[in-house]
Amino acid sequence: MRMDRSRRPNRSTIALACWACCGSAPAWALEASEARRAAEARRIAAEAPAIGSPFGAGGDPQTSVAQPDTSAKPSANVTTSIADGLGPLGDPGGYRAFLKRHGVDYSLTYIGEVLGNASGGRRRGGVYAGRLDAQIDLDIEKLVGWKGGAAHATFYQIQGADISHSYIGNGMTASGIEALPSSRLFELWFEQRLFDDRLSLRAGQLAADTEFAVSQTATLFVNSTFGWPAILAMDLPSGGPIYPLATPGARVKYVPNENLSFQVGVFNGDPAGPDRLGLQPEPQRRNRRGTNFRVTDPAFVIGEIAYAYNIDAGSKGQPGTITVGGWHHFGRFDSLRHEVGGLALSGATAEGAARRLRGNSGVYGMIDQTIYREPNDPNDGASAFVRVAASLGDRNPVDFYVDAGLAYKGLLPGRSDDTLGVAIAHARFSGGARGADRDAILLGDDGGGFVRKAETVLEATYQVVLGPGISVQPDFQYIIRPGGGLRNPRYPAAGRLADAAIVGLRWTIRY
């Protein structure tokens, strides 16, 4: 007698019986299960967007899968908050949600860190530093019906001490939050978006390091050079319009399609103003609260073109961004070697007035590339970046710069939000700077000094995300030839500043 077809055991029933009897499923069942999982992984990867967030650091499409969840860099696009994990307690009374529905969004972020110089540099020792960020964003359309309008303000309360100046003597500042203790205004601007958001005009108190020369992968790292490259910070007056010194300016950005963007920014050329009397060499003390609002200094102009590729769902290759930029400062800059009459600035015959050179320029380029994504989670994987920059060597202390790094998000099992990274940055002192050092040695004005060559920093870091808006980040940096190879000012007989080893821990809480 034939068995009724409807009553025959199916393959799933057989597999279950085998598991119950023998403790394992048959080989064909395991193969089928693996095939289903592989097919599901392929479906997830094919249907998912290029990266989890539509925008990355700097405001362009996110193409770095290893962009960290938290960062101290002003360019970072940070969206998580401790309120996300607190339920009703995250917004008592619902006031925050009410304000956001009506166009007012705010956040508070505290970044604290301890950094210690274990060896080398000027001396051993450690510091604590902290920064409280308060940010307010206004959607003018929701508030008053002004289509395409937005406004933003950032305020900082900075505490603690800096390790770079006090303990190391390096040019590439060890921490991105390192600054003199103060309460200050950072950015304050209005933006108008036009033509379906393809064109945006921004004006007010602006910082260049929020949008220009930004690597999404590099926002993971603690050293400041992985935000605003050290070649710009060391060559421009007062470091340029960057943290913690923004300045009046305007920015135009045009995005003809989702892959391509053009942007140009015009800023007041010295956010702190010149030290005309030579009494206050520290720029942050010349603009103590961020409210100087200087508009009379020669302009600083920077522009760049960025192309993002493989950002559509189902793209065959991994997403990445190529950026090319350049800058020009319209002010006058001192020659590093020659005085007005053409003689060397060092020596008994020098009159002490440096030859003035008109203008200053530089170029840069970078690649930010996702190189691998986890098959089962396309929002985890590895990204790499490379940046190269150059500037004029007769008036700038640094004329060539390169950095590169690799980061992996979700490397350890069960730690999908954590990010591990290693990076290197190299800043070469210019021919003018090296020539000035040689002149000083030859003419006897060096005090027994050395010729500067280059400074290099190596960094390894691991960001542990404890929950939405909360992270801790152990960090290690090794500074090779701090200051390019300067003599130790505290112990001149010891010769050059020795290579420095920095260990530290950063923590971040965002609401």
Give the per-residue pLDDT at 1. 37
- Is residue 13 domain-resident? no
Give the per-residue pLDDT at 343. 62
CATH number at residue 248: 2.40.160.180
Tens-digit pLDDT string for the chain (511 aa): 334 433 444 444 444 344 344 444 454 444 444 555 445 544 444 445 457 668 899 999 999 999 999 999 999 999 899 998 888 888 998 999 999 999 999 999 999 999 999 999 999 999 999 999 999 999 999 999 999 999 999 999 999 999 999 999 999 999 999 999 999 999 999 999 999 999 999 999 999 999 999 999 999 999 999 999 999 999 999 999 999 999 999 999 999 999 999 999 999 999 999 887 777 889 999 999 999 999 999 999 999 999 999 998 888 899 999 999 999 999 999 998 877 666 666 644 445 578 889 999 999 999 999 999 999 898 999 999 999 999 999 999 999 999 999 999 999 999 999 999 999 999 999 999 999 888 888 877 665 578 999 999 999 999 999 999 999 999 999 999 999 998 888 777 778 899 999 999 999 999 9
Q: How far is Cα 383 from Cα 166, in angstroms, rounded to an integer?
A: 34
Q: How far is Cα 403 from Cα 385, in angstroms, rounded to an integer?
A: 8
Asked whether 218 and 457 are in contact (CB, 8 A), the reply is: no
- Is residue 7 domain-resident? no
- The β-bridge partners of 307 are 260, 322
Q: How far is Cα 306 from Cα 365, in angstroms, rounded to an integer?
A: 10
- Is residue 12 domain-resident? no
485, containing H or E segment: none
- Is residue 255 domain-resident? yes
- Is residue 10 domain-resident? no
Give the per-residue pLDDT at 352. 59
The DSSP line for 278-342 is SS---HHHHTSSS------SPEEEEEEEEEEES-STT-SS--EEEEEEEEEEEEEEEEEEEETTS
Range of the structural domain that residue 266 is part of: 25-510
Among 506, 511, 17, 499, residue whose Cα is nearest residue 224: 506
Among 202, 110, 108, residue whose Cα is nearest residue 152: 202
pTM: 0.87
Q: How far is Cα 122 from Cα 318, in angstroms, rounded to an integer?
A: 44
Give the per-residue pLDDT at 30. 41
**10 Å Cβ neighbour count for 493?**
7
Q: How many domains does the chain have?
A: 1
CA distances from 91 to 83, 95, 100, 101, 104 (A): 7, 7, 12, 14, 14
**Amino acid making up residue 113:** E
Q: What are 104-162's pLDDT values in tens digits?
A: 999 999 999 999 999 999 999 999 999 999 999 999 999 999 999 999 999 999 999 99
- Is residue 315 domain-resident? yes
Q: How far is Cα 174 from Cα 479, in angstroms, rounded to an integer?
A: 9
- Is residue 225 domain-resident? yes
Q: Is the dihedral of CA 235, 365, 64, 409 positive or negative?
A: negative
